[in-house]
C-alpha cells in the first residue's frame, strides 16, 4: 500500500465507522463430554477459561498498536447438544449457565454454541437442548443459541421448524420484561456455516481444529462513502468501486486475524467479510442501497441493488484473503440498521420485501420484531419460508424474529447497544397452522433438472 492508501484507510477508521466487528475464538469441547454432569461442567468451564484467558487482552493490545477498533471479542464452542449428550440429563440449562460464567470470566461479550444440528432429524440430546433454550436464554447474559433445521442436501425438518416456533414464543415470554430480548440471541438456520464469527449464530464446527481464530470485518459507512464519489456513474463503475473498497476492508481484517492468531498461538481460520451495520448514523447497509439511487430501501429495485452490493463485496474480499468464510456479504437486520429502521417506520419496507431481499444477501430475516400476540405457527411458517429460500438456492439463510410481548404494529422496542431498536412489523393475518401441523420433512430439491 502506498502512502495515499494508508491515509485513506486511516480516514475510513476515523470518519466512516470502519472497524473489526469481532474477533471470535472457536473452542472444541468434544473432549469435555462426560457421563457425570458435574465433571462435564467443570471440564467445559476450565477449557473455555484456559483457552480464551488472553483473548480480550490481545484484542485490546492490537487495537492500541494499530489504532483499529475491535468492537467485540467473542467465543464459540462445539454445539452443546453433542457435548452434553453423554450426561443423560433432561435439561441443559446448567450447561448454558456454565458457558455464561466462563464468558464473564474471560470478559467476552457473547459466547455461541448452545446449538443443535437437526436438519435431518433429532437425537434425544437435540430434543433436550431445544426444549432448554427458552430458560437457558432467559437466565443467562451472554449465551447465544442456534438451531440448523435445513440443508440443501437434506431438505427441511418441519418438525423442528414447528418446535422452533414454540421455542421462540416461550423465549419471548420468559424475557418479556426486556421486550423479548432472549429471542435476539436465538437464530434458526438453513445451511449453517461452521466457521461463522458473528452472533447469535456462531458455533465451533466438528470439522474445525482444537482452537481457531475467526474474524468478522465490517464497513457499511466506508462503502457508502466510496460510492458517493461515483454518484451517477454506470453499474460497472459502481461495482468496481465497491470491489476495491471491500479489498481494503478485508486486508485490514486479515492483518488483525494474523496478529491475533500469532499472539494467542491459535490457528487462523477465516475472515468473514460481511457488511454488518450498527444503529449509528453513517453505518447502514440501507443507506448504501439508497446511495445507489433508491429513494428508500424497499422501493422497486432494492433486490437488484443488494445483489450487486453482495456480489461486489465478495469479489473484492476474495482477492484480499485466501481464507474467506463464515457468512460473508451483507447483513440486513432491521433493528441494527438505522436506514432499515427508517424504511420500516415510513412504510417503504415490509417483511415480504425483506424476504425477497434475502434471496441475494448473506443471511435472512434478521432482528425482525413482530407483534407479541403472533402465534407460534405463524412464526414457524415465517421460518419455513426462509429455510426454503436457503435450501432451493444452496445458500445460508436464517431467521431471528422477536415476538415482542404486549407490543403491536407501529410500536418500537428498545434493545440498546449494537442491537438498537426495532419497530414492530405486521405479519399476515391469515392462518398457516394446518400447514405447519403436517410435520415430517420437506424433501431435498433436485438439482440436475434446473431450468
- Assigned fold of 23-190: Anaerobic Ribonucleotide-triphosphate Reductase Large Chain (3.20.70)
pLDDT value of residue 351: 93
| Measured distance CA(362)–CA(366) in Å, rounded | 11
How far apart are alpha carbons 205 and 222 in whole angstroms? 32
- CA-closest candidate to residue 368, choices 389, 392, 344: 344
pLDDT of residue 63: 86
Residues in the chain with pLDDT values less than 50: none
Alpha carbon distances (Å) from 51 to 44, 96, 305:
11, 18, 42
What pLDDT, on the 0 to 100 scale, is given for residue 265?
93
Cβ neighbors of 442 (< 8 A, separation 6 or more) are 150, 155, 156, 158, 384, 388, 391
CATH 3.20.70.20 in the chain, residues? Answer: 23-190, 215-432
In degrees, to the nearest 5, what angle opens at C-alpha 93 toward C-alphas 89 and 97? 130
Q: What confidence tens digit (pLDDT) does each residue in 339-384 have?
A: 988 899 889 999 999 999 999 987 889 999 999 999 999 999 999 9
pLDDT of residue 282: 67
pTM of the model: 0.91
Identify the CATH class of 215-432.
alpha beta
pLDDT score recorded for residue 446: 83
Alpha-carbon distance values, 181 to 100, 144, 149 (Å): 16, 11, 22
- On whether the CB atoms of residues 130 and 167 are closer than 8 A, the answer is yes
| Residues 201-238 pLDDT 10s | 899 999 999 999 999 888 788 888 889 899 989 999 99
Amino acid at each position: 500500500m502506498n502512502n495515499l492508501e494508508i491515509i485513506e484507510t486511516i480516514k475510513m477508521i476515523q470518519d466512516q465507522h470502519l472497524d473489526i466487528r469481532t474477533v471470535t475464538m472457536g473452542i472444541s469441547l468434544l473432549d469435555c463430554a462426560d457421563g457425570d454432569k458435574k465433571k462435564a461442567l467443570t471440564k467445559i468451564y476450565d477449557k473455555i477459561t484456559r483457552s480464551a484467558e488472553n483473548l480480550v487482552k490481545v484484542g485490546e493490545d492490537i487495537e492500541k498498536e494499530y489504532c483499529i477498533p475491535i468492537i467485540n471479542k467473542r467465543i464459540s464452542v462445539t454445539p452443546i447438544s453433542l457435548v452434553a449428550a453423554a450426561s443423560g440429563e433432561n435439561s441443559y440449562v446448567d450447561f448454558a449457565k456454565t458457558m455464561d460464567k466462563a464468558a464473564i470470566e474471560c470478559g467476552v461479550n457473547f459466547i455461541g454454541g448452545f446449538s443443535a444440528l437437526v436438519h435431518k432429524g433429532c437425537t434425544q440430546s437435540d430434543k433436550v437442548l431445544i426444549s432448554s433454550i427458552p430458560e437457558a436464554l432467559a437466565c443467562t447474559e451472554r449465551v447465544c443459541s442456534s438451531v440448523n433445521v435445513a440443508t440443501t442436501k437434506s431438505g427441511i425438518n418441519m418438525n423442528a421448524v414447528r418446535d422452533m416456533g414454540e421455542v421462540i414464543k416461550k423465549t419471548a415470554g420468559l424475557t418479556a420484561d426486556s421486550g423479548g430480548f432472549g429471542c435476539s440471541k436465538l437464530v434458526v438456520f438453513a445451511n449453517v456455516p461452521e466457521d461463522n464469527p458473528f452472533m447469535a449464530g456462531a458455533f465451533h464446527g466438528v470439522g474445525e481444529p482444537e482452537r481457531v481464530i475467526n474474524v468478522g470485518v465490517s464497513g457499511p459507512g466506508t462503502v457508502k462513502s466510496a460510492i458517493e464519489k461515483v454518484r451517477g456513474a454506470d453499474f460497472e463503475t459502481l461495482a468496481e468501486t465497491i470491489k476495491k473498497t471491500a479489498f481494503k476492508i478485508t486486508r485490514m481484517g486479515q492483518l488483525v486475524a494474523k496478529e491475533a492468531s500469532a499472539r494467542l498461538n491459535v490457528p487462523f481460520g477465516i475472515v468473514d467479510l460481511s457488511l454488518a451495520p450498527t444503529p449509528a448514523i453513517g453505518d447502514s447497509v440501507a443507506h448504501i442501497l439508497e446511495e445507489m439511487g433508491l429513494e428508500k430501501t424497499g422501493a422497486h429495485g432494492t433486490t437488484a441493488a443488494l445483489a450487486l452490493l453482495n456480489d461486489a463485496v465478495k469479489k473484492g474480499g476474495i482477492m484480499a484473503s485466501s481464507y474467506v468464510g463464515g457468512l460473508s456479504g451483507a447483513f440486513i437486520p432491521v433493528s441494527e440498521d438505522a436506514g432499515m429502521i427508517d424504511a420500516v417506520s415510513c412504510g417503504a419496507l415490509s417483511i415480504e420485501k425483506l424476504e425477497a431481499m434475502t434471496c441475494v444477501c448473506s443471511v435472512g430475516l434478521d432482528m425482525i420484531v413482530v407483534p407479541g400476540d403472533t402465534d407460534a405457527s405463524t412464526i414457524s411458517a415465517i421460518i419455513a419460508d426462509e429455510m426454503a429460500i436457503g435450501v432451493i438456492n444452496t445458500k445460508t439463510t436464517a431467521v431471528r424474529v422477536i415476538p415482542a410481548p404486549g407490543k403491536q404494529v407501529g410500536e418500537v422496542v428498545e434493545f440498546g447497544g449494537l442491537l438498537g431498536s426495532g419497530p414492530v412489523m405486521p405479519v399476515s393475518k391469515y392462518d398457516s397452522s394446518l400447514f405447519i401441523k403436517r410435520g415430517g420433512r420437506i424433501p431435498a430439491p433436485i438439482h440436475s433438472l434446473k431450468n
